[in-house]
Amino acid sequence: MSSAAALAFDAIADRFDERFGEWASVAAQRRAVYAMLQRAFPVGSRVLEIGGGTGIDAAWLTARGRNVFLTDASPAMVRVAKERLGRRTAVLPAEQVGELSVGLFDGAFSNFAALNCVLDLPAVAKGLAKQVRPGGQVMLVLFGGFAPGECIVQLARRDWRSAIRRFRHEAPARLGGRHFTVRYHRPWEITSAMRPWFRLVRRRGIGIFVPPSAAEPWISRHPRLLGALEAIDRVVSAPLAALGDHVLYQFERIV
C-alpha cells in the first residue's frame, strides 16, 4: 500500500467501522467472501491476512476456529485491529509481506480491494510465496475492472466521472480529507504477478447484482430486494465473475 493510502486510512481508522460496517450491501458482499474463505481454510488453519484494516474479517474467521495473523500498512488501523485480535497483528505494507518472520502459513487472503492501493503486485506475490506453504490457498478480493452495478448507481446520481472511473487504470480517491490513488488491476496483471509461484484455481464475482456501497443508504432500506439480489449473485458468481463490484481470485501455492 502506498504511503498516501496508509495516511488516508490512518485518518479514518477510528470511525471506519461506523462508516462502512453497518451497510447492508457491504454485509452481503462480505457473506459471499466468507463462504469461500471457510471452504478454502479448514478449521485449525493458520492464515495470513494482507491489508486487514480494523480486523473485522480476521475476527470473524478467528471466531470460527482459524488462526489469523493480520497485517496492514496503516498503523492506526492495526491499532484498532489489535484491540480485536491481540498480538496477532503487524504494521506491514503488502509489498513487504515477505519480511514477516512468524513461520509458514496454510493460506492467505486479502479482502475488499486492499491490493488496489498497491502498485507493485509482483512484490506482493513474491512475498506471499515465502509465507504460504505448498498447496496453500490464497484468496485475493480486488475491485472488478467493469462493474455495471456501479455504473448504474453513479449515473443515477449524475456522477459520470465515478461511473467510468474503472475504465482508467488509475483513479484518484479521497478518505479523511487525504488523497491517494486507486489502481484497477486488470485480470492479466493479477494472474501474471502470481504465476511464478501460484496457479489460478477459480474466479468469483462479488457484488454482481448486489449493488456497491455507492447505493447506500438506499439499499439498506430495502432488505427484501437486497436478499433477492444476493440469491441471484450466488447463481451467477462464476459465469459473470468479471462483472462483480469485486472479484475473488483463488490461487494455490505450487512447489
**Domain containing residue 168: CATH number:** 3.40.50.150
C-beta atoms surrounding 27 within 10 Å: 15
What is the value of pTM for the model shown? 0.95
**Each residue's pLDDT expressed in tens, for the chain with a length of 255 residues:** 667 888 889 989 888 887 766 799 999 999 999 999 999 999 999 999 999 999 999 999 999 999 999 999 999 999 999 999 998 999 999 999 999 999 999 999 999 999 999 999 999 999 999 999 999 999 999 999 999 999 999 999 999 999 999 998 899 988 888 999 999 999 999 999 999 999 999 999 999 999 999 999 999 999 999 999 999 999 999 999 999 999 999 999 998
CA triplet 132, 138, 143: central angle to 5 degrees?
140
Range of the domain at 240: 3-253
- How far, CA to CA in Å, does 89 sit from each of 51, 59, 110, 127? 11, 12, 14, 17
**Total domains present in the chain:** 1
